Each structure stands twice: as C-alpha cells, then as structure tokens.
Structure 1
C-alpha cells in the first residue's frame, strides 16, 4: 500500500494534506524519514511513526452490536436513529455498515464492518449461513408447525422458503402464546414474521441470537457494542 493512501485512510487528511505532512519530514517508516507519497508500506510489518508517535492502522473493523428496538439497520436516515448512531465513531476512521438488516422492532445481534468481502460471503444465498432467533408468538406453536417449517413454508408472495429449524421452548395456554427458537438460512424481507403469518400466527417479539458462528455476547446490554475478538473474526472468515 502507498504511504499516502495509508495515512489518508488513517484520518490524517486528504491525499493533498497528507503530501504536505510527508514534506514536513515527520513521517518515519522503520526509523527512516519518508517524503515520497508513492513509497510502499506494509502496515502489518513496518513500523510507522508520525512525529515520533506510533501509527496503529486497521484496514477493517468488526463490531458486535446488541441492537435495540426502534433503531434501523442503516448507515443514515432522516427519520430514525440508525445503528451507526449507536457507535462512538470519533476514533473510527473506517466506515462500517450493518451486515444484513434487522427490522426496526427486532432486537439482538448485528455485525457492523467495513469488510465488504466478508459481508458478501455472510449474506450470499449460496453460503446458507444460519441465523438463529428467539421469539414470542401469538398463538400455540404446534408440532405441525415444526414439521411445516422443516419442509419450508409458502410466503404471502408465493415464495417457498428453505427448510427452517423450529424449536418450541414454552407454551402458555392461558395467554395463548409460545416462546420459540428458529434458525433460518435466508434473509427475506420480514421473513420470520411472514413464516409465522403463513401458519396463522403472529410474532410479538423477535431477537437475533446468532449469525453463523457469531453469537450475541450475553453481557452486552441493549444498544451496547464491542469489537469482535480475533477468534470471532477468524471464525466468521472461515464460514
């Protein structure tokens, strides 16, 4: 990578402003002053200093967010608070985006990253990445429903879903509600809600627990986030 590109990506200014920095003789690579903007540098191998301070460069960032209801899975919106509004971006030069979308009233796990390659792999239909949700359902979920989901159900637009794993966790006869866990491998618009609607039931509450190998940290409160660990990132990239 060219040194001017790396410095610009690190938030030190535009390419033009970075060239001025280089001319001021305050940029060092492995102890040597560098002025040529075309100088090649490896941020993983080379020691880069600016006026004596070490530059800590990250090409990609990965955040796990426990999305609350009322927040939309977008980078910007004039009407609603977005998931990026929940991040403290003042120290983040990179521009992360949500990997997939959770409905505005859905809570739970949302991955945010600027790694476009990983985003594509996780969302690509051909990779069949598991997404597991916890839900409260209006109605009694039966073994017939479990069997129907296992085969795939027809949505309101005629689309036949892929097989889904549905587990009944608890049933309340008095309130006529059910607590369930469902794992799907697709991400159609309002898919979980539409699947239950197809069997005559409605979703009252929905929370995503996991996406592929990434599981929501139980210590993350609603609206809180943290950086993914190296182990989590490696698992995601191996998905």
Structure 2
C-alpha cells in the first residue's frame, strides 16, 4: 500500500493533509524518515510512525448503532439525517455504510461498516442469518397468528415470504406486543407480514442480527465499536472466514 494512503487510512488526515505532513519529515518507516507518499508499505512487516508515535492501520471498521426513529438508513439523503451522520468526526469515514435498512420510523440494532463482503453475507437469503424484532401491534395476535407465520405468508402484493417464528409477549384487547424472527430482509417485511393478517405495526425495533445483539446500554443514537469476539462470530456464522484486524 502507498504510504500516503496508509497514513490517511490510519486517521492522520486527508490525502491533501497527509501530503503536507510528509513534507515535515515527521513520518518514519522502520525508523527511517520518508517524505515520498508513493513509497510502498508492507502492512504485515513495516512499522510506520508519526512524530515518534507508532500508527495503527485498520482496514475494516464495525460499529453497533442503536438507531433512533427519524433518521434514514443511508449514506446520503437530500431531506433527512442519515445514520452515518450520527458518527463522531473521528469515527466517520466515506466508505462506511449501514448493513441493510431499517425504516425511518424503526429503531434498534443497525450495523455500520466498510466491510462489503461481510455485509453481503449477512444480507444474503442463502445464509439464513436471523433478524429478530420487537413490535407493538394494533390487533390481537393469537396462537392462530403464530401458526400462520410459521407456515409462511403471502403478502398483499402476492409475494411469498419464508416462515417466521412469532412469539407473543402480551396480547390484550386490540393491542399486542410480540417478538419475531425472520431470515429475509424484504422491503418493509415485518410491517407487510402483519398487514397480510389484517394487523398494523405501530412500533418496531430490531433486537438482533445473527449473534449480534442490541446493546441495551446504548441510548438511541449512540453507538460503539464491535468487540473482536462479536466480529469473529458474525463472520463465522455468515460463512466468511474470520480475519479480525
């Protein structure tokens, strides 16, 4: 990797800023001053420092966000605030994106990363990665509803969805609280599944994606970096060989 790219990836600054930093002579590679940003750096061998302090290179970033309602699951939007805009300045990177989408009014777990391969595997229907939700429903969810979900539903659009595991947390009169586990991620899927049985989702929150659970210590809008253990589990269960950096 070129030294200037390495320095930018290590958080030292933009490419333009890195160019100016290199001119100061404060950057060393294996204790030798280097001013040429084109010099190649071997990630697993070379030691790069700035002003005597070693720089740590990180290729992939993983953040667990407790998404609040009112922000959109996108990297750019002309009207609304996006989930990546919730990242602090020191954590923001142009290549970070949300893994899948939560509706604007949906809360809960959202993974932000720049690991495209992991994202693809987590979202692929062939991988059968579970997504678990909590929802408040306008309608009485019964054991008959549970059986309908377990058999697989046909949405009002005529589209079929795979069986889902529905658990009743509370059902009183015309209001219910449930948990639902699905293995797909179709557009507005949870809301459309309940519409198919004549009910309406009034509140929706994602609790889990695969082994990754929502950290209840995070307030809405807050996030944290994933642990190495969480990253390894996600990669293992999604079929990608774990390469934690």
Name the counterpart of 1:113: 113
Structure-2 change in CA distance of 1:13 and 1:139 (3 Å): closer
Give per-residue Cα distances to partners, 1:132-157, cap 9 Å, x unaligned.
00001111111111111111100122
Name the counterpart of 1:212: 210
Q: Would you say how many aligned residue pairs link Structure 1 and Structure 2?
A: 235
For the aligned residue pairs, the C-alpha RMSD in angstroms reads 1.9
TM-fit CA distance, 1:27: 2.0
Distance in 2 between the 1:168 and 1:91 partners?
39
Distance in 2 between the 1:38 and 1:30 partners?
13
Distance in 1 between the 2:197 and 2:99 partners?
29
Kindly indicate whether the alpha-carbon contact (under 8 Å) linking 1:9 and 1:93 is maintained by their aligned counterparts in 2.
no
Distance in 2 between the 1:20 and 1:218 partners?
43
Helix, strand or coil for the counterpart of 2:66?
A: strand
Q: 2:189 aligns with which of 188, 191, 198?
A: 191
Structure-2 change in CA distance of 1:49 and 1:93 (3 Å): farther
Q: Which runs of 5+ in 2 are unaligned?
A: 238-245
Helix, strand or coil for the counterpart of 1:80?
A: coil
Which stretch of structure 1 is more off in the superposition, 99-108 or 24-33? Answer: 24-33
Structure-2 change in CA distance of 1:129 and 1:33 (3 Å): same
Name the counterpart of 1:13: 14
Kindly indicate whether the alpha-carbon contact (under 8 Å) linking 1:133 and 1:209 is maintained by their aligned counterparts in 2.
yes
Name the counterpart of 1:231: 229
1:200 equivalent to 2:194? Answer: no
Name the counterpart of 2:51: 51
Structure-2 change in CA distance of 1:94 and 1:53 (3 Å): farther
Q: Give the TM-score normalised by structure 1.
A: 0.91
Give per-residue Cα distances to partners, 1:76-109, cap 9 Å, x unaligned.
2121111112111345445311000000111100
Give per-residue Cα distances to partners, 1:177-236, cap 9 Å, x unaligned.
111000001111110000000011111111000001100001111111111111111111
